[in-house]
Structure 1
């Protein structure tokens, strides 16, 4: 099963908005077929593995990290192909949260007389497909906040200096995250202060370019000279802003430069309503969003409880000063009972820095807890 997860990881940047799936066919202890789901080919991982196995699939065991599909979509059901190939046993990871599947695949296989073992490495499988799980349960993009900060939680000095707080290894890890996401977002304040390009510099293949998103205000503050605007015809740049008469001319100019404008409802402070923005992004095919700053946007997502995952790169340095910019702005919690608590926390050492990652969203945290409980039952 670990090898199926490793195969599935090859789909990063190649399958969104669909899940990451790997599959193996094993006969007499020997792997006779391998496959992973990848675009632009519509065939699922199980089909690739069965094709490679050929006649050797009869009586063999098929391993797959996600429940085989049982419905007609772009392709026929994988369950039908598994049954037709004569597979005797299926060892699977997690149930597919897609309402069209959600246990039906396992039921069809069992009805055909195939032995089915489920929830194997379920926690690892749920983590791998964290975005897909949130997409299916919440009907919005998976949102991951990435922050680089000092030991005292600052992302810049009181004079605004921020490059670089963390070391080279932490920055490289942050860059690598970009490859796993459909879109990357910053607030207009960060766009003005840093003039970033927000590109995927891994050099790895992606079946569609990384979309750069700026959350702006009703005043449309993003300048025409910004690098994100100047390169909008090379890499997608989207501006999310509330509709406003005072910004209509500026938005039209940005659009003529190649930026795409997504108008959404405003909150009580004249900023884009985040729930409306995420709904619009999901309609546009964005299944995962990496939020890179700044403090105001991070705080807005935290206040709205719309963060699913948080990664903090923490440098062993103290910036200090009451005027230095904190990592998370917004209104914040008034009581400790209102804090946004992380689950499944992992801490990694990156040279002198520390990377702390955990889940913040209710749906994914619950899915992970259920996966761990199911996995314990399998191994007990």
Structure 2
């Protein structure tokens, strides 16, 4: 199952709206098991991991055991059910980590296998599988994507000098790590303030990426220019703009001409309703979103309870009180109201440190 989970991780950021699944098929014999098939969900979600592994194993799958990180699908979509394919291949046993919460499956895949006489073992590696597919699970059960908030700060929690200079607080190793993190998410998200100040590209560079995540800007009034780096590259790498009814018609038309997708959501005061925005993104299939700020958007997402994980890169530098803080106002009246996070890991990245926290 650990091998199947490692295979599944290869699909993160590239299989939405489908989950990233891994499958390993193992024969049994007097000398022990032999791996005859391995697969993971392919770009766009097809073909599924089980079908890739079965294609590799061929007749050797008959009487073998399949280890799958998620319950095999039981519904007819673009392809017949994977549970049916495992039955037709003559598997003797199927071991899964999680039951698929998708209403079209939800135990039906396991039931199909058992009805065909296949032994089914559930719950192996469940915790790791749940962490791996947290985005898919949250989208199916809550209608929201899994949001990772990235911060790159000095030791005193600053992201820029008073003048706005921020390149570069962290070193090259940390910046490469950020690009790898972008690649494992479906989309990279920034607010209009960051888009206007930095004119970012938000693509994955310098690590040999074979695909690019979506690029999303939450920009209530579409203030960001269609002649920006995002606008000029929208035809090559998708750009989505989340806006409100306050966005001018001329700005909408100009952005539409670039090939960007416009998503209108309700307003909450002078800004886009962030929960409605996340629901709209999940409805379009997104499961994992990597938010790179800025400070006001980060604080607003935290206030709305929409951040699942914080990835904080900390550099051994100090800027002082005149520098720009990593977060905007959280509106706390007392220390007891402060969000308390659970530390997941601490890792040196070059001269910097990456700390992951769970909300």
Whether the TM-score (by the shorter chain) exceeds 0.5 is yes
Write the distance in 2 (CA, Å) between the matches of 1:118 and 1:344.
29
Please tell me whether the aligned partners of residues 4 and 63 of structure 1 are also in contact (alpha carbons under 8 angstroms): yes
Aligned position for 2:348: 349
Write the distance in 2 (CA, Å) between the matches of 1:57 and 1:224.
53
* CA RMSD of superposed structures (Å): 2.1
What SS does the corresponding residue of 1:59 show, helix, strand or coil?
coil
Structure 1 window deviating more from structure 2 (228-237 vs 54-63): it is: 228-237
Write the distance in 1 (CA, Å) between the matches of 2:126 and 2:137.
13
Aligned position for 2:329: 330
The Cα offsets for residues 189-224 of structure 1, whole Å up to 9 and x where unpaired, read as 111221111112233222xx4322222233x32134
Write the distance in 1 (CA, Å) between the matches of 2:88 and 2:251.
59
- What are structure 1's unaligned runs of at least 5 residues? 361-380
Write the distance in 2 (CA, Å) between the matches of 1:50 and 1:41.
16
Aligned position for 2:64: 60
Aligned position for 1:248: 249
Which of 235, 238, 249 is equivalent to 1:236?
Answer: 238
TM-score between the two structures when normalised by the length of structure 2: 0.91
Please tell me whether the aligned partners of residues 34 and 49 of structure 1 are also in contact (alpha carbons under 8 angstroms): yes
Please tell me whether the aligned partners of residues 303 and 330 of structure 1 are also in contact (alpha carbons under 8 angstroms): no
TM-superposed deviation, 1:120: 1.6
Q: Does structure 1 residue 90 correspond to structure 2 residue 89?
A: no
Write the distance in 1 (CA, Å) between the matches of 2:109 and 2:352.
44
Write the distance in 1 (CA, Å) between the matches of 2:59 and 2:237.
46
Please tell me whether the aligned partners of residues 69 and 79 of structure 1 are also in contact (alpha carbons under 8 angstroms): yes
Please tell me whether the aligned partners of residues 183 and 288 of structure 1 are also in contact (alpha carbons under 8 angstroms): yes
- What are structure 2's unaligned runs of at least 5 residues? none
TM-superposed deviation, 1:154: 1.0
Write the distance in 2 (CA, Å) between the matches of 1:51 and 1:114.
19
Aligned position for 2:217: 214
Write the distance in 2 (CA, Å) between the matches of 1:137 and 1:265.
23
TM-superposed deviation, 1:281: 2.0
Aligned position for 1:309: 309
Aligned position for 2:141: 137
Write the distance in 1 (CA, Å) between the matches of 2:294 and 2:54.
47
Aligned position for 2:14: 14
The total of aligned residue pairs comes to 354
Give the alignment of 1:116-127 within 5 angstroms.
116-127=120-131
Structure 1 window deviating more from structure 2 (303-312 vs 110-119): it is: 110-119
TM-superposed deviation, 1:350: 0.9
Write the distance in 1 (CA, Å) between the matches of 2:79 and 2:167.
48
Which of 198, 203, 208 is equivalent to 2:208?
Answer: 203
Aligned position for 1:272: 272
Give the alignment of 1:144-163 within 5 angstroms.
144-163=148-167
TM-score between the two structures when normalised by the length of structure 1: 0.86
Write the distance in 2 (CA, Å) between the matches of 1:196 and 1:300.
21
Write the distance in 1 (CA, Å) between the matches of 2:47 and 2:105.
17
Structure 1 window deviating more from structure 2 (149-158 vs 80-89): it is: 80-89
What SS does the corresponding residue of 1:23 show, helix, strand or coil?
strand
Write the distance in 1 (CA, Å) between the matches of 2:257 and 2:57.
53
The Cα offsets for residues 230-282 of structure 1, whole Å up to 9 and x where unpaired, read as 3333332332222127x3333333333444332221112x1111112122223
What SS does the corresponding residue of 2:267 show, helix, strand or coil?
coil
